[in-house]
Structure formats: C-alpha cells, structure tokens
Structure 1
Amino acid sequence: MAQSNLQFQRARDGLSSPSIPGESASRQDIADLVNAWIFEKYRREGGLSQHYVGKLERGEVRWPNSDYRAALRHVFGVERDTDLGFHRPRRVRPVSEPAITVEDVDRKRFIRTAIGAGAAISLPDLADLAPFTNTANLPAAVSPADIRELRHIAGVFSTWDHTYGGGLVREAVTAQVRYSVGLLRHSRCPDSLRNDLYSAVGHLSHIAAFMAFDAYAHDDARRMFKAALECADLSDDWHLRAKVLSSMARQAIWTGDADNGLTLVELAMVRSDRLTPSERAMLMSARARALAKLGRVQETLATVGAGDDEFANVNPSEEPPWMRYYDAAQHAGDTGHALYDLAIHGQFVSEASHRLASAVEGHGAAYVRSRAISGTKLASLTMVNGDPQEAAHIGVRALADAGTVRSRRTQSDLEELSRFAHPHQRHSQVAELRRRIREATRP
C-alpha cells in the first residue's frame, strides 16, 4: 500500500478554505480551485475530483499529469513538483504484465474528456437521482459481507433485466443504488475493501444505467454510466471499465450518434490484453455496429470476423460472472445486429439472417428480451428482402416474446417492423401482424 503523502497534506492544511477564511481547504475546495485555474488558463474542463485529491494525499498517485501539477503548484504557491511530494515514477516491468507508466494515469483524464464527463461525476452525486436520507439502516463500517450482498443484488437485477426488461424493476434497482451510495457517503470503509466496494457499486450502477437506457430514460442512463465508469477508474477494474464503455457505446449508437459510439468502443479497447476473449468479442460486435451505421462496409466485415475469432477462444469457466450472458446466441445476435444495417439495404442479407436466426433459436427463457429483439430484426429483414408472409410468421413469434417484457427498445423495433410491413399489408397475415403491433405498442 502506498505511504501517505505528508508534503501534500501539509500544503493542504496550510491553505485557507475559499469559503471560510482561516479554515483549511477541503478536498473539494482544492479540486474546485484546480479546475477553475485550468479553465481560466486553457478554456477547458479540468476534471479533477475530490476522490483524486484523496489519492494524491494517500500517495496512490505519485505523478499527476502536467495540467494538474501546474495547477496545484499555482494553488499552493510553490515552484517545484517535489515541494508537493510528487516524484516522477520509474518504469517498472513486472514479469507477468506490461509496463505501467504515467500514460496509464493520464488515460483516465483523456477518457473523461472524450466522453464529455468534464469535471468528472463523483459517485456520491448519484444520490441526486434519489437522495438517501435514512442512514439508520447503514452499517457503521463496510464489511466483506456488505460487498458480497451488493454483488448478489446486482446479479439478481441483471437476471430480471434480461428476462423482463428494464421498465419493470427500475425503481427497485434505483433504491439499491441509493443504498450503495449511502455506504460510500456514510459508512467507513477499510482501505483493504475500498476497491472491492467501488467495483461492486460500479456494477450495480451499470445495471441501473442499462435499465434506464432500455426504458429510454437516456439522461439518467448517461449519468449512471459515467458514475459506473468513475467506479471502474477508482477501483482499477478493467473488466468493469470495458463493460461500461461498451454499454455507453451501444446507447450512443442506438440514439443516432454512431461516431461517438465508435470512440467509446475504441476507448474500451485500450489495453485489451487485460480483457477476456468474451469481453473482446463483445467490444468487437459493438465496434461493428458503429462502423455499419457509419457505412464503413469493409471495416464492419473485418471487425465481425475479428469478433468471431475472439469468441472462438472463449472458455466459459474463465469468464467473469457478469459475462456469462455472452454465449453463442448473444454473439450471433450482436454480430447479426451489426450486419443488419448493411443487410437492410440488400448487402449480406443471408449472413445477417443466419446470425439473427441462430440468436432466436439459441436464447432461452432467461433472455426473452434478446430473443424478441433479434426476432424482430429478423422479421424486418425478411419483410424487406424476402417473403412478407414468412416475415409475418417470424414477427408473430417475436411479438409474443416482446409481450412478456417492458422495454422501449423492443417497442421501437416492433414499430420499425410495422413500417417495413406497410407496403405488404395486402397480405392478410401482414395486416394482422401490423394490427397486433399497434395494440402492443399503444401507450
């Protein structure tokens, strides 16, 4: 464990609070002063948070990036970085991992800037979504059992989300996020458990964010995704980071910003050697979706192929629990969705249809929403490029699955299918399908 940075703490204690003269500045005061100086000098957001200031005090960050060092020298009125206890790290190359350098530290600030996080969201700000006021139920100190409970709850809600959609249990998962934020704000956490706590809260926040995305509560989703990403940074959880950025990319692509989606996927693939094959396959399928939306056909095909290669190396027993959903059906569906945007215009129709059909057949009862979405896409593709009556048959099955979930994304896909079916409504099966879709999607 890193030793406390006594020089930095003494400098902080000697700095008066901007709001209360004579009182030592808080971590938030220092963060605000640094961010204000960076904005005044460079006209850009600083992104320093109170959590990062805490890391500086604890000596967990020995060499902040150049902007932070310059701003902190200005705030504390010193000339040298060493006056604040900062020392350039030596390059250390462990036997089992590549070298960790200052670029790994600067990467976090780059990610926040790239995703528009600005002055990065600190986790307690999640309480603004649903303030937690009943501290009586919180433990005085966080224990391993508390963290296990958070992970168990996250797993339960993830299962519910896959089976019933995000709309049904959003309030319940928000309450659990509220509780987890209470742990961060009001309960003591031993240093030995801090990373595990942030990781557990990050996974729960990610699930809540994805549910909000599925329900089209996009602003809530973006905020919780960014908080989950902050958790991944604070806990150095590369697997959580990849999952969150992948989901953020999917939301961006879904809402019409494929270019930003591609950026988010590329960020997730930084140091992809630290990820598992299923995680890399997941990212490749998201990248292929963005490329297809952007009309970059050859890159889409190459990326789908690279994703297939990664998936071929998956060993389920070596994958983290939250990636167990990414089985053959999920991979077929995700890559089929990527090819769908090409196939709907007449390119690679057979390949896209084959993958979507494999997803529909492979998804079991635990993944009804995924089966409904893949089935609806397959029906749309068949309606545009194949037999409308066969498409209606596929659509009826997808509609039956969709009727068991509460998902705005599923409804949007059904509405798209109805639009594609309109030119073929002279067929009685197609007309009946459109009628049933209208009933199912009626507000």
Structure 2
Amino acid sequence: MAPNHLLRNLLTESGWTGQKLADHTNRLGAEAGLRLRYDRTGVAHWLTGRCPRPPVPELVAEAFTRRLGRRVTAAATGLERGATTAPPRWRTDVTAELTNLCRDGAATRRALSGCVYSLAALSVPGWADLASIAGAECPAEDTGKVERSELDAAKAMLELFSTADLSFGGGYVRPALARYLHTTIAPWLRWGAAPAVRADLFVTAAQLCYLCGFLCFDDELHGIAQRYYLIAARLSRAAGDALHYAISLRALSVQARMLGHRTAAVDLATTAARALPRSAPALTRAFLIGQVAAAEAAANDQRHAVIHLRAAENHLDHSRDTVSPVGTYHPAALSHHHAAVRACLGERPAAVSALTRSLRCRPPCERRARAITLARLAELHLDAGELDRACQTWNQFLDDYSHLRSQRADTALGTLRARLRPHLAYPPALSVTHKAAEVSLAKAA
C-alpha cells in the first residue's frame, strides 16, 4: 500500500492531529446517525494507505471542508479509491436525482443512516443568479400524459401527508411519502402535460419533496433531509417559481441553524428572503423573515434580529392569506421565533413568555410542534430553578409524546431523563421519570 500523502497534506493544512480528525469524524458520524469510535490509531492506518468503508471517506471530507472553509471531496482525502467527480448539482437531471433519492428514501431509518450532511452543498445560487446557470432538461416521455385530475390528486396527497405529520410525527409518514414520490410523482415528471399543468406539477412535486425533507429532519436524518430540500429548490427552479425556491432555501437555513452552522444559516435565510417575488403573500414574507431573525440571533446579531422579528410580526398582522400545507405561518409560529431570538439573546423570561404564548395559540392538530415546544419550555423552567413548573410541563409533553414517532421528540425525552436525574429524590421529578419510562415501554410494545 502506498502512503496517503493527500490525507497527510490535509492534516498539515488544517493543523489537526490524527486524534483531532478522528474526533471530528466520529462527531459527523453521530450527526448522520452512525456510532463511530475512531481514534488516532485508525487515522494512522489511513495514512499508511488503508481505506475505511463508506461513508467514512465522505465524513472525513466534510470534516476538512468545515475546518478549511473550502470544499474538500472524498477523492481529495485519498480515502476513496476510483472516485469520480460528481457533475455540478444544478446541471444534472433533477427528475433522475429524485428517482434515485426517493428509492433510498423509502428504506428503514437504519438504511438511511450514513447519508452525510454537506456544508459545501449549502452554496446555493440566488434566484436572479439561476438565469446564468444552464439547467438540465426534464424531457417528457411518451409513456403517459398528466391531466389536471392527476395534479388534483397529488395536491390532495400533499394535504394528507402534511396533516398526518403535524399530528403524529415524521416517523409514521416519511416512508409512505418517499414511496409515493418514487412510484407516482417522479414518473409523472417525465410524462407529457399541458404547459400550465406541467408547471403546477413541478411546484406540487417541490412541495412534496420539501415536506419529505422536513419529515427526515424531524427524524434527525439530516443528510437525506438536505438532499430533499435541494431537490425541492431545483424543482421550483424548473417550474420558474421563485416563491417555493425561497421556501426551500429557508428550510435549509433552519436545518443549518439547528446543526450549529450559524453563518450558513444567515446566508441562506437572507438569500431566501431576497428571492421572494414582489407578489409574494404577506404570510410567506413573515414565514421567511422570521427565520432571518432566528438565524441572526443565533449568530449574535442582536440588532438585525430584533428588526427582522418586528418586520415578521408586521407582515403577519397584515396577512389575509389562508393556511398552506407547505410554508404556513401563524401566531404560534411567530411566538416560537420570538422565543428563539430571546433565548439566543440571553433573555430567558421573555423566551418563556413567548413559548407559553406559542402553546396558547398553537392549533390543536399540531401535536408534534406542541410537544417540542413543551420540552423546550420545561428546559427553560429548569434552567431558572423552577423544578415544579418544569415537571408539570414535562408531564404535558409526555401526554403528547405517546402519540408521536419523531426522533426529535425521542431526543427531547432523552433530555428530560438526563436533566431530571439529579433530582430523583424529589417526588414530582421521580413521578415524571417513571411516567417517561412507562410511555417508552408502551411505545416499544
């Protein structure tokens, strides 16, 4: 075996030791749903020319990408034999990419683990810049023709999947939606259609991909969620729809913020807001600008975060739009943005008030959002030393949790147990912990 000089050079450029690279690789593996236990010995083997199994080369490449601030491919690490350079994302056949993605996306959670979230993939063009990028054709085939009736059916399925997700979580809905995309929507994208129907079909497909991305996000499958969001953006571009392109970029911003990539989150949220056409509804403007505020607060830009939060509130006040299965916004969502901003600014009482207001305004059907909000509110109560209120709030969370299949909710349950462990001598804390164990056993049965 020949020594891996490419990896050695990257280590030198990054200033990392072998152990440091191993630590970052393990951390990215956890982000992708994998349990890796590499150490400096493993990296030493790589330097001698050994290649780890996929997706480890991709994880190593992503680690260096984040460290060096430039794109590093798996081939550039010397850990992937026979690697080929992928074609530019915005010039490939988007329908073929969707077909391949949702074929895998219908698999089990275990099979989906290992799809790597890429910081380099977040370098997306603004809407105006897309005009200079030659997009791949989406050729129609003679196998069939999409009529308005098929399109109406797809929109009805979008409503159905969205409603089920709100009430029961992404884990129940994701496999079914991925299969629907693979067996029905992806083939329709290649069928013939009248121009108006074809454009509307691509928008509806973008909405379904956006929703599938969110279901993966809810299941903490961040690599595949990112790919669905990017396909949603590309389908919106193919339809010539700037509004849904902006909504897809907003989703990427939310994900980046949740994963700690603050600068990328601000850039994506800002690009999304700028992509909105002048005719965009006030509700959608509030939806996007609220995310700009949340991203800026996470990046410690207090002044602009407060300005944009007020702007989102103003747009929502002037909205007369109806609720949509994708990109909806209402007072509960705005209050949740208020809480995110105030928490980042260290204003815990204001964050608690905002989350309480969000719960009061939250539509009854949005069980998963209510559960996540309750879990966050309980943590803030405990941070303030209010153990009784934290226990009461976590008790409410468990009432909703029993109906959900959501990895985010599972993570919140793990946080509940960890945070209450030092307080088990206190009867209310012990009671909530016992209830959590009972609910978990009942769900596993």
**TM-score, normalising length: structure 1:** 0.66
Measured in 1, the distance between the counterparts of 2:401 and 2:377 equals 14
Q: In 2 relative to 1, CA 201–319 (structure 1 residues): closer, same or farther, beyond 3 Å?
A: same
Structure 2 counterpart SS, 1:147: helix
Partner of 2:354: 355
Q: In 2 relative to 1, CA 292–153 (structure 1 residues): closer, same or farther, beyond 3 Å?
A: same
Partner of 1:106: 129
Structure 1 counterpart SS, 2:307: helix
Q: In 2 relative to 1, CA 249–376 (structure 1 residues): closer, same or farther, beyond 3 Å?
A: same
Q: In 2 relative to 1, CA 287–108 (structure 1 residues): closer, same or farther, beyond 3 Å?
A: farther
Structure 1 counterpart SS, 2:156: helix
What is the CA deviation profile of residues 171-230 of structure 1, one whole-angstrom value per residue up to 9, with x for unaligned ones?
111111111001113x22233322111111111111111111111222221111111101
Structure 1 counterpart SS, 2:377: helix
Letter of the 1:340 counterpart: A
* 1:259 and 2:266 correspond: no
Equivalent in 187, 206, 209 of residue 182 of structure 1: 187
* 1:157 and 2:156 correspond: no
Is the 8 Å Cα contact of residues 90 and 136 (structure 2) preserved in structure 1?
Answer: no
Question: Deviation of residue 374 (structure 1)?
Answer: 1.0
Matches within 5 A, 1:302-317: 302-315=307-320
Which has more radius of gyration?
1
* 1:340 and 2:343 correspond: yes
Partner of 2:118: none
Is the 8 Å Cα contact of residues 376 and 399 (structure 1) preserved in structure 2?
Answer: no
Measured in 1, the distance between the counterparts of 2:423 and 2:344 equals 21
**Equivalent residue pairs, number:** 324
Partner of 1:202: 206
Is the 8 Å Cα contact of residues 166 and 212 (structure 1) preserved in structure 2?
Answer: yes
Equivalent in 296, 321, 324 of residue 324 of structure 2: 321
Q: In 2 relative to 1, CA 239–104 (structure 1 residues): closer, same or farther, beyond 3 Å?
A: closer
Partner of 1:32: none
Letter of the 1:353 counterpart: V
Matches within 5 A, 1:118-157: 140-157=144-161
Identity of aligned residues (%): 20
Partner of 1:432: 431
Measured in 2, the distance between the counterparts of 1:184 and 1:245 equals 22
**TM-score, normalising length: structure 2:** 0.66
Structure with higher RCO (Cα < 8 A, 6+ apart):
2
Measured in 2, the distance between the counterparts of 1:120 and 1:172 equals 30
Q: In 2 relative to 1, CA 234–152 (structure 1 residues): closer, same or farther, beyond 3 Å?
A: same
Q: In 2 relative to 1, CA 428–353 (structure 1 residues): closer, same or farther, beyond 3 Å?
A: same
Letter of the 2:303 counterpart: Q
Measured in 2, the distance between the counterparts of 1:288 and 1:159 equals 27
Q: In 2 relative to 1, CA 368–50 (structure 1 residues): closer, same or farther, beyond 3 Å?
A: closer
Measured in 2, the distance between the counterparts of 1:397 and 1:384 equals 18
Q: In 2 relative to 1, CA 171–324 (structure 1 residues): closer, same or farther, beyond 3 Å?
A: closer
What is the CA deviation profile of residues 6-62 of structure 1, one whole-angstrom value per residue up to 9, with x for unaligned ones?
xxxxxxxxxxxxxxxxxxxxxxxxxxxxxxxxxxxxx9975552669xxxxxxxxxx
Is the 8 Å Cα contact of residues 202 and 240 (structure 1) preserved in structure 2?
Answer: yes
